[in-house]
Amino acid sequence: MSSLAELPTPAALIDVARMQANILRMQQRMDALGVHLRPHLKTSKCPQVAAAQRAAGARGATVSTLKEAEEFFDAGIDDLVYAVGMVPARLPQALALRRRGCTLTLVTDSVAGAEAIAAHGRAHGETWPVWIEVDADGHRSGVDPEGEALLAVAAALAGGGARLDGVMAHAGSSYGLDTPAALQALAEQERARTVRAAERLRAAGHACPVVSVGSTPTALSAAQLAGVTEVRAGVYVFFDLVMHNVGVCTLDEIALSVLTRVIGHQADKGWVIVDAGWMAMSRDRGTQRQRQDYGYGQACSEDGRPIPGLCLDDANQEHGILHWRGDAGGEPLDRRFPVGSLLRLLPNHACATGAQHPAYQALRPDGRTEAWPRFNGW
C-alpha cells in the first residue's frame, strides 16, 4: 500500500472505482438485453480485473492468446474462447490445456482450418468445440454469412474430432465510427449477419447453439440482440481516448492512466518533459484520425482532472513531450508543473498501454494503491 507520491514512475494506474462502474454498466446493459457477457481479457491480462468482471456476472471469457488461456484457467476461469483463427502448430498447446479440464473453444473461418482441427481431435480422441467466424463488416477475418464457405466449413467439422458449437463475429470497424446512429446501425448489422449464419447452419442440420457478437462500441449501442446468446467486449473495462472519440464514454470514465513525473522543460517552446515516453504509453496513435487528436495522451492533474490544452504531443522511448496548447499567459510552466511533480496521462488505447507495463497500480477509493500483476507474451 502506498500513496501516489511514493510510486515509481511511469506506472499504469487503475482507478478502481471507475473500473467497477464500467464493469457494472456493461453487465447491466447485457442483462437488460437478455444476453450473457463474455469479457475479452486481452485488455487487462490481469487476474484481479477478470475477477471483478466475474463477480459482476460475466460468464466465461474470451482470450486472444493461448498464454491468456493458460493464465486465466489457472486463475479459475474454465470456459474460454480462443478468438483467433486456429493453426495446426498451436493445437498441441491447446490440447495440453484441454487435458487439464479447460473448456477451450476454438475458432476457424476456413475449410483447411476446420479440417486440421477435426483431424487433430480424431488423432487424440478429443472433440474440439469450434465456432465459425463470420465476417460482420469486412473488417478482418470471417466467412460471408451468405456464402458457400460457411456450410463447407461446417461440413468439415462434422466428421468427428470437432463439434460445431456456434458462430461468432466482431464488428471491429465500429472503432472508426463516432455517431450513435452509425454505431446502432453497425450493431444491428453485426447481429443480423451473425444470426443469419446460425440460421443457415441450423437449416443445414447443424445445432449451432451459440451466437456470439461483440465489440465495446456495438455492445453499448445495440438497440436489440434478438437471436444472439452472448456478447464479447474488452476495452469497456478501462475505456480510453479512442472510445471517448467514438462516443461511448466520457473522459471521467477512463479508468486507466499513466502516472508520470515532470523531468524538465523547454520554456520558450511551451514544452513540459515527462518520464512517460512511448515505452510507457505505447506507440498507439488511435486518435490521430478521429474527431480530436490527443497525441499520445491527455494530461490530467495528479488527482485525475483533465488539464485542457496539455497533451503528450511527442514521445521518445523514455521521454514524453507535453505541448502546452493553452493560453501563454499566467504562471510559467516550470512553476505550474515543477520538476518532480506528478501528472496522469489518459491513453489512446488501453489495451496497448497496459501491455507496456509489467503490473498495474490499483488506486482504491481510499487513496491506497496496490500492485496488480499482468502478463504478456504468447
Instruction: Give the footprint of its own copies on this chain (CB under 8 A).
Output: 8-10, 42, 64-65, 84-90, 93, 109-110, 112-113, 116, 135, 138, 140-141, 172, 261-266, 269, 273, 275, 278-279, 282-285, 314, 316-319, 321, 334, 338-340, 349, 351-352, 355-358, 376-378
**CB nearer its own copies, residue 254 or residue 350:** 350
**CB nearer its own copies, residue 203 or residue 317:** 317
CB of 145 to its own copies, least distance (A): 14
Cell of 197: 449464419
**CB nearer its own copies, residue 94 or residue 211:** 94
CB of 376 to its own copies, least distance (A): 6
**CB nearer its own copies, residue 122 or residue 139:** 139
CB of 201 to its own copies, least distance (A): 19
**CB nearer its own copies, residue 166 or residue 320:** 320
DSSP string, 45-101: --HHHHHHHHHTT--SEEESSHHHHHHHHHTT--EEEE-S---GGGHHHHHHHHHTT
CB of 134 to its own copies, least distance (A): 13
Helix axes 47-55, 66-74, angle to 10 degrees: 70
Cell of 219: 455492445
CB of 3 to its own copies, least distance (A): 12
Which residue bears the cell 472505482?
17
| Residue in 299, 302, 349 with CA at minimum distance from that of residue 323 | 299
3-state secondary structure of 378: coil
| Residue in 4, 6, 9, 17 with CA at minimum distance from that of residue 261 | 9
